[in-house]
Amino acid sequence: MSHKPSISPEKALQQLLQGNERFQKHQPLHHTTTGRERREELVSGQTPYASVLTCSDSRTPAEHIFDAGLGDLFVCRNAGNLVDELVTGSIEFAAVHTGCPLICILGHNNCGAMGAAVTAAKNPDLHESPCIDHIIRRALPAVLATIDNQADEKAWIDAAAKKNVFNQCKNLMNASQLLRKKIDEADFDIVGAWYDIGSGRVSIITRISELTGA
């Protein structure tokens, strides 16, 4: 069954950023939506206000970063916050079956997956395992695109991680006709964001609707 969004993509983004502001200020509200009443309320269904694709890094839990309670976020995670068929299908499912109006692809500084890809770019003969190598191959376009004019390896890793956010937003847009249609109808948006592990701050670095003129 297809569900229409209950709020606009813009409102969903505002809720994410407001939650992140509370997180930074140590003024959480999520504890008000994690108790028994909320659990019982969610038995009949879910209407998350946003999807988040973030890195599996233990320092980047989306529900904490955005001060979200049960049923608020539809979360996908993998090393490097990479878009593949499973991620695309999951985000499409959230958009169609829960009415979720927004996906935030969240990169972060000091990313281990991007660090591994930078190491691989410097040492092409280095291999860890077929599955880790697959992650690195998916991350390499961002690493190679940012190889020049970096002060040091740390700066290169962070530049690659930011570039990767742009790449994954475009990859999702290109992979999903369903989401492109919803963006054209102003029912959905894809945003790329950056999380600073030290400060806890999330900043928006790209929006697909602005790039496409939707």
Query: pLDDT averaged over the chain?
Result: 94
Task: Please give the pLDDT value at position 81.
Answer: 98
At residue 84, does pLDDT exceed 90?
yes
CA dihedral (80, 149, 196, 119) in degrees, to 10, reads 40
**Tens-place pLDDT, residues 157-195:** 999 999 999 999 999 999 999 999 999 999 999 999 999
Can you tell me the distance from the alpha carbon of 114 to that of 142, in angstroms, rounded to the nearest whole number? 9
Task: Tell me the C-alpha distance between 156 and 147, whole Å.
Answer: 7
Name the residue ranges covered by the structural domains of the chain. 9-209
**Hey, what are 53's tokens?**
């694709």
Residue 69 has pLDDT above 80, yes or no: yes
CATH of range 9-209; options 3.40.50.10070, 3.40.190.10, 3.40.50.1820, 3.40.1050.10: 3.40.1050.10
Neighbouring CB atoms inside 10 A of 120's CB total: 21
Return phi, psi of residue 47, to 5°: -140, 65
Residue 177 vs residue 45, higher pLDDT? 177
Q: What is the pLDDT of residue 32?
A: 80
The token pair at 194 is 């950056």
| Nearest CA-CA partner of 15 in 25, 30, 26 | 30
The pTM (predicted TM-score) of the whole model is 0.94
pLDDT given for residue 31 in this prediction: 80
112: pLDDT strictly greater than 60? yes
Tokens of 58: 């233990």
